[in-house]
Chains A and B, each alone.
Chain A
Amino acid sequence: MRAQRSYLLGTVFSLSILSILGCSNPYPPVVATLNKSAALPGNLPSNPLQDRVITSWIDKQHGTMSTLFGNDIAVQYARTSQQQDYPIGSTLSLVTWTQQEDPRWFGARIPAKVKSVEYVIVKAGADHRTSYTYESYEGTPLKQTLEQQAPTPTPQAQYLISQRAAVMP
């Protein structure tokens, strides 16, 4: 099917006249390109793409896809524990993109624009007790829309903490 032989050459040999019927293809050729629209513009406390993947999910109703990242401490914990008790020093970050059709594979959707970036940072408070910071960033460029700190995770922070790691044997 994808033989490299030129069909054209052979036909030109016998019937060169037909080659002038060549028409342009309605589909642009595939070229190597970055998905720049999905980059994370703005001043973020850290670049989640520098961390490692914990898991991901798709929100059909909102047409978004999210990847949950963790720093070394968080990833190590997520991949070895079924509990939801991330140790101090853990940073989780969630990037949520709107989806676009994959221009190269009908049957797939890939990240389009970043909708939000959220963080859960587990720290030791002044009284040495665990404290949970939740931050969210939205817009283009991304700007902070929320920052909460409490001894217990807020419901949205709890939602991120409660996601179990995707199996990566």
Chain B
Amino acid sequence: MAMTSSERLRLIKTAVILGVVFIGIQFIRPELKNPPVTADLQAPPEVKQILKTSCYSCHSNETKLPWFDEVAPAYWIATSDVKEARKHLNFSEIGKLRVAQQKGLLFEAISNIQTGAMPLPSYRRVHPGSRVTLAQMAVLKSWLNPPAPTGAANTSAADAGYERWIQASSVVPDVHPSPNGIEFMPDYRNWKVISCTDRFDNHTMREILGNDIAVKAIAENHINPWPDGTAFAKVAWRQLPDGKGIIRTGAFIQVEFMIRDSDKYASTKGWGWARWRGADLVPYGKDAAFTSECINCHAPVRNSDYVYTLPIGGQQ
């Protein structure tokens, strides 16, 4: 059916308006600067090459947008993503951080690539060259993989911590709530073991414990989502190598909680997050906004309800 002349006119008008709007929005350009590179990552060239190709476009001060990212509205999204990315991890300034902090960020980066969280899936789709291949991943991993500790650790701090604790273990500690209002749950010690981890990246070891609701959910394999009332405690200790190949739990570092209540904690992904550090159980976080750290770190496992741990089967 042929278009009438008025229909044709309306179509042309719409196209012209859209064209003008498209050209117009090109003039709205939030500034995206490349500040000087002050403390670039120190890494072998083959590692650097992979990071430059896959990460530096957003996570450095050497952002080079391809031409199609220069076109609004893609440009707006790109600038906003780059600013956000630099806040979290900036390879051009990473050298300013303590070595342990740098390592933590690099391990997190590799885990994020491994879980498919990075580069952002939406980014990968339009920048296929940013994908990290399995061969490249092997290069990154062997670079970061630390040698196993040799020699016996000094046990004095762990011994002193143990002495203090065993003397006071029947005393109920006076513990302040977390800044988001969550109260410490001393009964975590009596929860059941769900799994354990050997964190060789930061020389800690952990036991992950769950309350009865969590254990029942595992037994019934109803873990995505976890039922309301689920609570996990992750207890972390320093690794204490004895110099003969055995690593024991050393000084207590912290206990962290995830508590499931989809209504009460709706604004923090349905989980209440809390952490108490050190033998004195000092609540972690300046204010309630500390939970954004928890959620950011757990975001790569959002498809498993923000839980990293694969619970050991056969809990009944």
Residues of A in contact with B (beta carbons under 8 Å apart): 1-3, 5-8, 10-11, 13-15, 18-19, 21-23, 25-36, 38-41, 47, 49-53, 55-62, 65, 67, 69, 75, 79-82, 99, 102-111, 163-169
Q: Find out whether the CB atom of A79 lies under 8 angstroms from the CB atom of B166.
A: yes
Q: How far, in angstroms, from A36 to B313 measured CA to CA in the complex?
A: 5
- Which residues in B have their C-beta under 8 angstroms from that of A106? 107, 110-111, 114, 141, 144, 201
A65/B198 contact (C-beta < 8 A), A22-B125, A39-B312, A39-B313 known = yes
A117 to chain B, nearest CB (A): 12
Q: Find out whether the CB atom of B123 lies under 8 angstroms from the CB atom of A7.
A: yes
Q: Find out whether the CB atom of B111 lies under 8 angstroms from the CB atom of A105.
A: yes
Contact of A29 among B124, B245, B303 (CB under 8 A): B303
**Stretch touching chain A among B3-11, B33-41, B72-80:** B72-80
Q: Total contacts A to B, CB within 8 angstroms? A: 256
A21 to chain B, nearest CB (A): 5
Q: Does B209 contact A (CB under 8 A)?
A: yes
- Which residues in A have their C-beta under 8 angstroms from that of B74? 7, 10-11, 13-15
Q: Does B265 contact A (CB under 8 A)?
A: no
Q: How far, in angstroms, from A105 to B80 measured CA to CA in the complex?
A: 27
Q: Find out whether the CB atom of B303 lies under 8 angstroms from the CB atom of A3.
A: no
Q: How far, in angstroms, from A81 to B163 measured CA to CA in the complex?
A: 10
Q: Find out whether the CB atom of B312 lies under 8 angstroms from the CB atom of A58.
A: no
Q: Find out whether the CB atom of B301 lies under 8 angstroms from the CB atom of A30.
A: yes
Question: Residue of A at shortest CB range from B85?
Answer: A1
Q: Does B88 contact A (CB under 8 A)?
A: yes
- Which residues in A have their C-beta under 8 angstroms from that of B267? none
Residues of B in contact with A (beta carbons under 8 Å apart): 22, 58-59, 68-69, 71-74, 76-78, 80-81, 84-85, 87-89, 107, 110-111, 113-118, 120-126, 128, 131-134, 141, 144, 148, 161-163, 165-166, 169-170, 173, 188-193, 195-202, 205, 207, 209, 218, 221, 223-224, 235, 237, 239, 241, 245-249, 251-252, 255, 279, 281, 296, 299-301, 303-305, 307-308, 310-316
A59/B131 contact (C-beta < 8 A), A27-B115, A81-B166, A168-B252 known = no
Q: Find out whether the CB atom of B237 lies under 8 angstroms from the CB atom of A32.
A: no
Q: Find out whether the CB atom of A6 lies under 8 angstroms from the CB atom of B122.
A: yes
Q: Find out whether the CB atom of A18 lies under 8 angstroms from the CB atom of B133.
A: no
A32/B304 contact (C-beta < 8 A), A5-B77, A106-B114 known = yes
B170 to chain A, nearest CB (A): 6
**What are some 6 contacts across the A-B interface (CB < 8 A)?**
A5-B77, A7-B126, A53-B207, A60-B247, A165-B166, A166-B235
Q: How far, in angstroms, from A91 to B114 measured CA to CA in the complex?
A: 41
Q: Find out whether the CB atom of A39 lies under 8 angstroms from the CB atom of B314.
A: yes
Q: Find out whether the CB atom of A167 lies under 8 angstroms from the CB atom of B161.
A: yes
Q: Find out whether the CB atom of B199 lies under 8 angstroms from the CB atom of A107.
A: yes
- Which residues in B have their C-beta under 8 angstroms from that of A6? 122
Question: Residue of B at shortest CB range from A15?
Answer: B68
A125 to chain B, nearest CB (A): 29
B162 to chain A, nearest CB (A): 6
Question: Residue of A at shortest CB range from B87?
Answer: A1
Q: Find out whether the CB atom of B237 lies under 8 angstroms from the CB atom of A167.
A: yes
Q: How far, in angstroms, from A3 to B84 measured CA to CA in the complex?
A: 8
Given A26-B131, A75-B190, 6 additional A-B pairs, CB 8 A: A7-B125, A10-B76, A25-B131, A62-B245, A102-B197, A169-B165
Q: How far, in angstroms, from A59 to B133 measured CA to CA in the complex?
A: 32
- Which residues in A have their C-beta under 8 angstroms from that of B189? 52, 79, 168
Q: Find out whether the CB atom of B169 lies under 8 angstroms from the CB atom of A80.
A: yes
Question: Residue of B at shortest CB range from A80?
Answer: B169
Q: How far, in angstroms, from A59 to B248 measured CA to CA in the complex?
A: 9
- Which residues in A have their C-beta under 8 angstroms from that of B248? 55, 57, 163
Q: How far, in angstroms, from A23 to B132 measured CA to CA in the complex?
A: 12
A32 to chain B, nearest CB (A): 3
B65 to chain A, nearest CB (A): 12
A60 to chain B, nearest CB (A): 5
